Structure 1
Amino acid sequence: MLSHVIDLLADPVDGTALSGVDDYARLTSASGHSYDVAKQGYVTLAGGAGLKHQGDSAEMVQARETFLSLGHFAPFVEAVSAAAADALDAAGVPEDHDPAILEVGAGTGYYLAHTLDVVQEARGVGLDISTAAARRLAKAHPRLGAVVADIWDGLPLLDDTIDVISVIFAPRNPAEFARVLRADGQVITLTPAPGHLDELREPLGIIGVEANKLERMIDQAEGHLRVLGEPESLEFTMTLDRSAIAAQVGMSPSARHIEDLSEKLERLPETMTVTARAHLTRLGRV
């Protein structure tokens, strides 16, 4: 609910604080800007030019919901939630402070909702550029506020307000992360590692993971964020049937590039063992 996180949000035009009016039907700033809250419960916070980039389609969002609900990525979900809890413990958050967790590229809210269940005193901001995702995100957890925004235009959040930022297979804006992160806060990233879903690469033609993805992410953060400890390698196998494989591909960027996907899926075995690989990295402010 937006009322739980209103003290964190900022006007995307001038960065001033927002407040809820008309029982949170609108959010307004002292400078006079007003943002309508959609009937589904999310708010779009974009500057005067509006959103410039395209988010996941309704079909991609449905595929994501289908795949994640099957629990195949449970080890990723548990690792991110545990890292968030550890980050809050390390920061020594005062008992009278309700910690704030931001997930960038939150999608349907599957990861963030799990983290909020683990860290029961926390509240969450789920941010995504897709309105189709935001409709589900707004209902993912009672302590979660859903925001549609483009991270490349800046985060519609006040300075020094966020205790943990999680980014799971999503774009990053290190300068903005450092701005909104509290002094002892952490950014927790989950990035695909080489070999992720490799068993599907040849039969389906899905996009591969670049060899230096982790190093490039760390380089891009230089001057804003520093790596805390060694990145953690996560690897596990999944037994996927054709429908699960179709959902996994449908939720990814590969969905836009594969031709004759249904025919390629029909040529697969009834089930396949597929390996998931990723790096979990913790970063703090410089």
Structure 2
Amino acid sequence: MLRDVIDILADPTDGSALQLTDDDRRIVSDSGHSFDIARQGYVTLAGGEGLKHTGDDADMIASRETFLSGGYFAPFVEAVSATINQALDEANVADEDRPAIVEIGAGTGYYLAHALDDVAESRGVGIDISVPAAKHLAKCHPRAGAVVADAWQRLPIRDRAVDVITVIFAPRNPEEFARILKEKGQVIVLTAHPGHLDELREPLGIIGVEPGKIEHLMEKSAGFLERIGEDEVIEFPMELDRASIAAQIGMSPSARHIEAEDLERRIAALPEKMIVTAKAQITRLRLA
């Protein structure tokens, strides 16, 4: 809930502290700005520029919920949660310290909820630009607060307030991450690795993994964040039926680039079940 994380959040315009009103319907800042809390429990914290994009639509979020609830990406979830625990241990952050975890591009809150379950007293903020995503985020976990915001703008988070930032197949903003991260905090980035979903690329014509994503991240991070150790590659097979494949593609950027009828026809031509490779790598970063 937002009440659990209000001390982490900040006015997106000037960074001033926020408080909940007594009726829990609005959030107000020390500088006088006011932000209404939606009836679903999320709040939009956008600066003066507002939100220029809308993010994933309701259909993409429904596909994401369907696919992830099948447990196909469970090894990714477990690896991210284990890395969060490692980061907290290395910073000597105990459960009773109520560590703050912020996920950028949190979607439905699937990864964030698992992390909050794994770290008993932790609190989480899920940030996503999509309102349909925020509606799911708001109910993903009792200790999670859902915020609609743009990851490329100033994040509505206080300076030096966050123990761990997670970025799961989502936008990376190293300058802002460095601002909100505590001195011993870490950023955990999960990035699709070449080979991810390769068995589907040719028959479905879906978008491939962009080369050099980690190198680009490190270039943008110069002066703000530095790499910790070696990256960890997680690779595993998934047995997917056609419905699961449709959900996987429906939650991805490829959903915007393939006409629905074409996609349906291509999926119908696939075997009833396929073994598909999932492959991604975890990169850990700290303040430079």
Superposition TM-score, scaled by structure 1 size: 0.98
Q: Is the 8 A contact 1:2 1:24 kept in 2?
A: no
State the partner residue of 2:286. 284
**Deviation for aligned residue 1:22:** 3.2
1:179-194 correspondence to structure 2 within 5 Å: 179-194=179-194
One-letter amino acid of the counterpart of residue 222, structure 2:
E
2:30 counterpart of 1:30:
yes
- How far, CA to CA, are the matches of 1:150 and 1:73 in structure 2? 25
SS in 1 for 2:210: coil
Partner residue, 1:257: 257
Among all aligned residue pairs of Structure 1 and Structure 2, give the percentage whose two residues are the same amino acid.
Answer: 64
Alignment of 1:129-144 (within 5 A): 129-144=129-144
| Alpha-carbon separation, structure 2, partners of 1:205 and 1:221 | 32
2:158 is matched with 158
Letter matched to residue 279 of structure 1: Q
Q: Does 1:274 align with 2:283?
A: no
Q: Which amino acid aligns with 1:270?
A: E
Q: Is the 8 A contact 2:54 2:131 kept in 1?
A: no
Q: Deviations over 1:104-132 (max 9, x none)?
A: 00000000000000001100000000000
CA distance in 2, matches of 1:225, 1:142: 31
Q: Deviations over 1:9-28 (max 9, x none)?
A: 10011110000003321000
The 1-side partners of 2:78 and 2:174 are apart by 24
SS in 2 for 1:126: strand
Structure 1 residues not aligned, in runs of 5+: none
Matches within 5 A, 1:19-98: 19-93=19-93, 97-98=97-98
TM-superposed CA distance for 1:96, in Å, is: 5.0
Change (3 A) 1:94 1:119: closer
CA distance in 2, matches of 1:268, 1:137: 33
Letter in 1 for 2:134: A
Deviation at 1:94, TM superposition (A): 5.2
The Cα offsets for residues 135-168 of structure 1, whole Å up to 9 and x where unpaired, read as 0100000000000000111110100000000000
What letter matches 2:35 in structure 1? Y
Pair 1:111-2:111 in alignment: yes
Q: Equivalents in 2 of 1:91, 1:267: separation in Å?
A: 51
Q: Distance in 1 between matches of 2:89 and 2:97?
A: 13
Write the distance in 2 (CA, Å) between the matches of 1:138 and 1:132: 10
Whole-Å separation in 1 of the counterparts to 2:180 and 2:222 = 17
Report the Cα offset of residue 210 of structure 1: 2.1
Amino acid at match of 2:266: K
CA distance, structure 1, for counterparts of residue 57 and residue 22 of structure 2: 31
Cα contact 2:77–2:114 (8 A) shared by 1: yes
Report the AA paired with residue 122 of structure 1: S
- Displacement of 1:101 in angstroms is 0.2
Tell me if the contact between 1:214 and 1:279 (Cα under 8 Å) persists in the aligned partners: no
Counterpart secondary structure, 1:247 = helix
Q: Deviations over 1:212-264 (max 9, x none)?
A: 22222222211110000000111000000000000000000000101310000
Counterpart residue number, 1:177: 177
Residue 144 of structure 1 aligns to which amino acid in structure 2? A
